[in-house]
Structure 1
Amino acid sequence: MKFSRRTAAVAVVASTASLALVLSGCSSDGGSGNGDEKITLTITTFGTMGLDGLYAQYEADHPNITIKATNIDTGGNALTDWKTKQASGGLPDIQAVEEGWLGSVMEVSDSFTDLRDYGADDIKDRWVDWKVGQATDPDGRIIGYGTDIGPQGLCYNGKLFEAAGLPSDREGVAELFGGADASWDKFFEVGKTYHDATGKAFYDQSGFIWNSFVNQQEEGYYKKDGSLNIEGNKTLENFWMQLADAQKAGLSANQAQWDWGGGQAFVDGTFAVFVCPGWMLGVVKGQVEAGGGDATSGWDFADVFPGGASNWGGSFLTVPTSSKHPKEAAELADWLTQAKQEVASFQAAGAFPSVLEAQTDPGVTGESELTKFFNNAPVGEILASRAEGVVAQFKGPDDALIQEQVVGPARTALDAGSADGPTSWNTLIDTLHQLIG
């Protein structure tokens, strides 16, 4: 849970009653947590991972274990929290790690428990293979159990599309953007058509569009050999200029990232499309509801994405070596990433499972609170479709820093119109040299 890649705003997720129905089918495989010693396990997560509703079930099945959970609002804040506690030795028993942090995490991978000591090799076929590969350090140590992955589809407001004279049904929208051949050129073309018809912005801000594009590339901010891949990268620079042109054309609503005015921007027609990895669906739902809207507000989810397959985010549960209860912590991390629990997380927050069995479970492919909210869209089936062709991208040690502190200020200036494309790009490169080298 994408921050950085997988940042999430405060969101109202699936109802307690719905989640309880899912949890009723969850059970523990037992383990040392059923002994007599009273143990408190601490866990730190972030954003909308959909795990909070699971802890009570585990405690009920393990009466001697108490789970003390901390959820940090955004991935950026969570990254700062992890780095601070990593340096001071104050990490929890289980630390959630976001995909975008992996470069930094792997530099200190020996400070995380090798989960092979607690059976990781026996269960590694549980996940899509590239997810396990991401969590494996250069010495072959598996340091994390995968929670979700972030295949992306396109959220759109059907009512706003219809008012603009555009198709509003999911199949029509997919074709509008090019179907299997959907491209960013077509995306911006549709955006201009929408703006011409309504006078309104098409998307909330340029940062999420940029992030999605970068994640589609075979190599992102870093090359596979670990060297930086931004300065002189004409693919990235040209897309930045395309974003600048779109901003001039009025396509960006210049929203602050992760701040939509208490959800108002999602219900008042400020923008009409939103890039959506699975975990973002819970954010959209929560923002609409916070803004006073509901399932009738018009939001839908289409099986299409400009430029093809793209993965934004996805997280892991790690056990720092500082844990006083590594076996029990590993057992909890194992349980939280079993198929039934990943189904529950999906239904709670749209966190699309990295576990193969969970991806085809009726709880993912069938009806849920999210399908009802998104105009009965088969969100699980769409995300499974969007996951096809996703390839894990190498993340360098400062990937998240680049996203937050190098790209962020330049993007803000671009969207505000205070800097044009070339100027903001040069600022980005200058900041890159100052902060990274």
Structure 2
Amino acid sequence: MIAAAASTAAIVLAGCAGSGGSSSSNDKITLTVTTFGTMGFDKLYKEYEKAHPNITIKATNIDTGGNAQTDWQTKQAAGAGLPDVQAVEEGWLSKVMQVSNSFVDLRDYGANDIKSRWVDWKVKQATDKSGRIIGYGTDIGPEGICYNQKLLAASGLATDRASFEALLGGANATWDTFMKVGQEYKAKTGKAWYDQSGFVWNAMVNQLPEGYYTKDGKLNVKDNADLKARWDILAQGAAAGLSSNQTQWDWGKGKAFTDGSFATFVCPGWMLGVVKGQVESAGGDASSGWDFADVFPGGAANWGGSFLTVPTTSKHPKEAAALAAWLTEAKQQVATFQAAGTFPSVVEAQSDPGVTGQSDLTKFFQGAPVGEILANRAKGVVAQYKGPDDSVIQEQVFGPSIQQLDAGKANGEQAWNNAMTLLDQLVVNK
């Protein structure tokens, strides 16, 4: 009888999780949600409230994943102020895993019964060493290249998407080729090739089998020949004037996307909505010429991706888990893709016509089959292990040196050595 009761309970919980659930009473409750960037949930909150009249959703969206991490860490340390549903970015998931017991084990609310919903590595990322599943996956970040079709055509280097992809080498595209083409573009136009070196470096690191940490969690920066070789390529590009030296996440209210400041941009799926938003902020639209190409130097790469978690401080963990599960159902993930270009980690959603077919993003990016391109770019992607100080290394260790490269204040060797000094100060000897 006990085993039968447990089985029945699991079925009930799974049903709640899969359908969006409902409160065990008609008491009115408020669920707080903290997200970041452009996740595409806004309209879905209203839909959920309509289907659950006793639930009000109070959503807070923080501008960037880095600022969201700071917000979470501050509240986590204080033991207060955390929302019912906390979005977590892949880059700081390892820090969350260090305190995974402070997040609800979603298996208690049916996670095991729906885990086949996601690509398997997404579930593994959100599973702690004790086997607890603490997050439901939203998007993954397969990468392609955004480029301005008008600018490339005017330079005489490429007239359309197919010729641009071929220009970079198609399936055999390399970073060396990317920089070589950039130098040709610079010679013909006098303009920069990409917006700034930080995003390029991030992409270079992310596509390695192991990045700043080895798969078993050991720091992997100093004496890393693969990292150093890519750094040298990056430094050569900056020295050649290929970077527009833009400030990360600040493009002058989108003006740099419309005034020809640069011609290419590193684009994981979630960045497509950012590009569209920046262009529109500057008064532009599809006629501004931005396109999305099925090509990426060095092969498959993943940048980012998020999870929805439920902190144990939530007063409504059942309802919070149900909301998180509903937001990551295939139908809702298709809707977030259409709203923000966030490519789903949910398998069923990846092949849905709402992802593979026409959308506002398709229209904006010169008719590019955005969903099909991202599905193709996702082939071969396996998320890299991110260690506890991964974001610190990216932003605070290499960030200043990248700015030095772009500003011409240091050569590659000097900038690398400066980064190693910061690594010792901020990570190794902290």
TM-score (norm 2): 0.94
For residues 233-255 of structure 1, what are the alpha-carbon distances to aligned partners after superposition, in whole Å with 9 as ceiling and x for unaligned? 12111211211111111100000
Matched residue, 2:123:
132
Matched residue, 1:419:
410
For residues 125-154 of structure 1, what are the alpha-carbon distances to aligned partners after superposition, in whole Å with 9 as ceiling and x for unaligned? 000000001000011110000000000011
Q: Does 1:54 align with 2:8?
A: no
Q: 2:35·2:62 contact (CA, 8 Å) conserved in 1?
A: yes
Assess, with a 3 A threshold, how the Cα gap between structure 1 residues 36 and 337 changes in structure 2: closer, same or farther.
same
Q: 1:116·1:142 contact (CA, 8 Å) conserved in 2?
A: yes
Which one has the largest radius of gyration?
A: 2
Gaps of 5+ in 1: 1-27
Q: Does 1:436 align with 2:427?
A: yes
TM-score (norm 1): 0.93
- Pick one of 374, 386, 398 that aligns with 1:383: 374
Specify the SS of the correspondent of 1:329.
helix
AA aligned opposite 2:90: E
Q: 1:34·1:64 contact (CA, 8 Å) conserved in 2?
A: no
Matched residue, 2:364:
373
Listed as ranges, the matches of 1:167-316 within 5 Å are 167-316=158-307
Distance 1:111 1:167 in 2: 52
C-alpha displacement of 1:34: 7.2
Q: 1:151·1:277 contact (CA, 8 Å) conserved in 2?
A: yes
Matched residue, 2:55:
65
Q: 1:34·1:62 contact (CA, 8 Å) conserved in 2?
A: no
Distance 2:42 2:401 in 1: 35
C-alpha displacement of 1:166: 1.0
Q: 1:50·1:346 contact (CA, 8 Å) conserved in 2?
A: yes
C-alpha displacement of 1:30: 5.1
For residues 175-234 of structure 1, what are the alpha-carbon distances to aligned partners after superposition, in whole Å with 9 as ceiling and x for unaligned? 111111111111001101100100110000000000001000000010112111111112
C-alpha displacement of 1:35: 3.4
For residues 275-302 of structure 1, what are the alpha-carbon distances to aligned partners after superposition, in whole Å with 9 as ceiling and x for unaligned? 1000000000000011111000010011
Distance 2:20 2:204 in 1: 43
Matched residue, 1:333:
324
AA aligned opposite 1:88: A
Distance 2:151 2:309 in 1: 43
For residues 294-320 of structure 1, what are the alpha-carbon distances to aligned partners after superposition, in whole Å with 9 as ceiling and x for unaligned? 000010011000000000000000001
- Pick one of 341, 344, 354 that aligns with 2:335: 344
For residues 22-48 of structure 1, what are the alpha-carbon distances to aligned partners after superposition, in whole Å with 9 as ceiling and x for unaligned? xxxxxx825233731111000100000
AA aligned opposite 1:56: K
Cα RMSD after superposing both structures: 0.9
Distance 1:377 1:220 in 2: 31
AA aligned opposite 1:417: G
Gaps of 5+ in 2: 1-17
Matched residue, 2:5:
none
Distance 2:274 2:38 in 1: 7
Specify the SS of the correspondent of 2:19.
coil
- Pick one of 82, 100, 110 that aligns with 1:109: 100
Q: 1:98·1:315 contact (CA, 8 Å) conserved in 2?
A: yes
Equivalenced residues, count:
410
Distance 2:21 2:171 in 1: 47
Q: What percentage of residue pairs aligned between the two structures are identical?
A: 70
